[in-house]
Amino acid sequence: MSFAAGAAYDGAMRAAIGQGQRALESGDVPVGAVLVDSAGLVVATGFNARERDGDSTAHAEIVAIRAASSALGNWRLDGLTLVVTLEPCTMCAGAAVLARVDRIVFGAAEPKTGAVGSVWDVVRDPRNNHRPEVLGPWDLAPDVSAECADLVRDFFADRRGASDG
C-alpha cells in the first residue's frame, strides 16, 4: 500500500485521535477508533473505556465494533475500515477478523502487545478464513502518525512523572 492510499484515512485518523482524547477524561489509555464505510463516512466510534466502565474488554476497537454492529444490525462489518490510533492487541485484532472488517488502519505501532505485525500478526495469519488489509503508520502522513504516537507516549510519561513525586 502506498502513502497516497493511506493518506485517504488521515481525516478518519484525526477523528480517532479525538476519540482517544475522550479516554483521557476517565483516566484511561488514550486510544480511539472509528469505523468508516467505503465513502469515508463514520459508522461508529469508540474509545478506551476500561476504567470508566470497569470492563477489561472495553478497548476502543471493541467499543467501536459493538457500536457498528448495533447501528447496522449485523455482526458482519464487511465493507468497513477500522481506523485506530494504536496497533490493536490480540483481542482487538481477533475481533476485527471475526467481524470481517475489510481493512485496519493504525496510527502508531505497539511494540509490547501489538498484534498486527509488531509482536504477533493475528490478522494476516494464513489460517484465518478472513484477512483484513493492513495500513500502518508508514502509510499515513507523518504528522498524523506522530500525533497518534505522542498521545500514548505523553500519557505514560505523565503517569511516570506523577509517580516520581
Residue ranges for the known binding site for Zn(2+) are 59, 89, 92
* 56 alpha-carbon distance from chain centroid: 16
From the candidates 25, 51, 61, 110, give the one annotated as an active-site residue.
Answer: 61
How does strand 42-47 pair with strand 81-86? unpaired
Active site residue 25: no
Cβ atoms 38, 62 nearer than 8 A: no
> Which residue in this structure is represented by grid cell 481506523?
83
d(CA 138, CA 142): 8
d(CA 151, CA 113): 17
d(CA 156, CA 129): 36
Please give the C-alpha separations between residue 77 and each of 37, 38, 52, 67, 119, in angstroms, as whole numbers.
Answer: 9, 12, 26, 11, 25
Cβ atoms 137, 148 nearer than 8 A: yes
Residues annotated in a binding site: 59, 89, 92
Catalytic residues: 61
